[in-house]
Structure 1
Amino acid sequence: MHVPESSVIASIGNIYQAAHDPKLWPQAVESLRTLFDGSKACLVRIGPERRPDDLIAPSNDPAFQDRYLVEFADEPNIIEHAVAKAEVGATYSDLSFIGRETLRASRLWNEWMAPQDMYGGLTCKLASSGPSTWFFDVQRGRNQAPFDAADLALLRTIVPHLTRAVEISRQTRIGQLVSTSLSHLPFALIAVDAGLRILARNEAAEQILSDRDSGLSQRRGVLLTSDIQSTTRLQRLVADACSAGRGSLPGVGGDLLIVPALPAGDPAALAISVGPSMSVGTPTIALEPCAVVIARRFSQELPAGFAEAIAQFFELTPQEARVAAAVAAGQSLKQAAGLIGIRVSTARTHLGRIFGKTGTSQQSQLVALLRSVQVTLPRN
């Protein structure tokens, strides 16, 4: 079979497009089926917890595809056994690698492959991660010419691109998973370049930037604080993290506390930390040097459920947790005892046990530790 070079290039292009957009994988698999003049083609993940999107086979009958997931996906079959033994990147003909008679005597071939006109295929193992393996398979039908050496050579030409695309796709999905998780963290994450231009932010950052009284805002896409001095300090920390214009290793950034000037009530200061991103020091066409700004609301008012949360976190008794919470709120030990309704000597005994359970030895250390736990708790 003569295959035009333009068709090969187009199929490879479809593969790399699908690597960055999972919705395009059916189109990429279909283009490969057409390229090899196959009756069927599929991209499959084998391993635990199979899902419908683990079998990408756009030319399959949906009823047969559902049947595969129900009847064959959770039990070893002859093709998956062969794939498991192969090396990543290996390409082979199932009829020669498994054996025509062995394959056609199997339940998989008789009940799933043959009814869909799958009489001989080429398979390649694309990736393996823990118990999961990904492979591509293209089949020809009963009335088609079997695959020959030229077809196998063509697949071997495409396999490096297909293998790379599957890995890119996996890493992209992992990146999306991390990004989704970061977006739900209880503190703000903002990626900025050396000029404080905002590159990305999570949902908590959106809330802080939209709050006029938070002490942090944006203007024309540039991150600003509530006063010139703090913005200048923030600029220096970001420049240090980005190593802007120095040609050296990235700096460590630093910390900054912003206390908005509110007329009354709890000021709810922002504790800001600035650090280098993982890509700093390796500028590319796609991403300039950048830093990560983490902003956490820091209020003297303890959130609801604080005592219960630190009791669970540090394995404190309920009364120890009440003493610890009172100390964290700025109360003296005498005030804490009066507030809870216990003797000062009893409160002092509780405090000694709290020191032991938290690994601290002074009230100032204990307060700092408890306040650091506070920023991870939801506020009403």
Structure 2
Amino acid sequence: MTVLTWVAGVSLLAWVWLLLAQGFFWRTDVRLPGSAADPGGGAEAWPTVAVVVPARDEAAVLPLSLPSLLAQDYPGRAEVFLIDDGSTDGTGDTARSLGALHGGLPLTVASPGELPAGWTGKLWGVRHGIALATERTGAEYLLLTDADIAHEPDSLRALVAAARAADLDMVSLMARLRVETVWERLIVPAFVYFFAQLYPFRWINRPGGRTAAAAGGCVLIRRSAVEAARVPESIRHAVIDDVALARAVKGGGGRIWLGLADRVDSVRPYPDLGELWRMVSRSAYAQLRHNPAVLAATVAGLVLVYLVPPLAALGAAAAGAWPLCALGAAAWAVMAATYLPMLRYYRQPLWLAPLLPFTAALYLLMTVDSAVQHYRGRGAAWKGRTYARPDAPV
């Protein structure tokens, strides 16, 4: 019992530290900076923006997302470039039909050609889209957004205004993910919670800070920052491309910002556990740099921080070991309290907060499975493609 009590005490101390010293990651008040007023002078005062949408087999979600981009109420010039990366479900034709049906911003549908070795499909599409947009529009800003992201009509205006008001080179919004099924309720809010724990938004947004991350579904970036960071060429192999992009831009001296979205939503459904499992496990081991030692430390950390508190509280209560029970219950209570703001943000019942250890256990298993799939040669698989480690021979 003495050893278990010490372990539970360390877990409680870890939660106190996370609560107070990890950039207040659990708060959900990091939202888009106050947008600037119309600068005056009409449309010419607003910079030209090119919206680049890489897409592969996205015909099912495009009717829910692409019309929202075409309907953007942006005072300046803006064009949409959808890059169809070898889709087999008619993605390109669907996009053209939606463009003809809805009108709005000019739409160009193009193909990036055969994927070369050493590139991920999304970044190859982004590269082609940026080159095409630069040639056609000379855009000052680029909005990189995924095919499953829907934007309210004022989204682009707000992003550009915020970037200009704060002189930011990159503004990224963590789109509100869909939460409708039982498994989405259990896993999706925790996904954003864990992301913020790894990359506290306040640390990311601090000028001169070393922490860098972005949300790849919605990134507004100054084209000069793209050129200075030599992206996407410099990160062409990155599976977790949004974090790699943020590091490249911030490492090159650019100012970046990341926050939670109010009016940008993902429309992609994850109806069952299998879909969510694949979404997490495809990149989890890449996040750990394919390092077995880091994997072992991550598993140990997840057990200590998320699983020890409920096991100590419930097991010690059954055994009548009340000091151990008190330590476990206190750590569990702090954990649940830090999860409440995210549940409120996702408009979910607050009784889900004590279930966070169960969700963490699922993420632990997903992470281990990601490593197993990697060593079986099936790691980082997405949309029919499997990507090797960055240092693997091509």
Structure 2 length-normalised TM: 0.23
- Report which structure shows greater RCO (CA 8 Å, sep ≥6): 2
Q: Comparing both structures, which one devotes a greater share of its residues to strand?
A: 1
Structure 1 length-normalised TM: 0.23
Larger Cα-atom Rg = 1
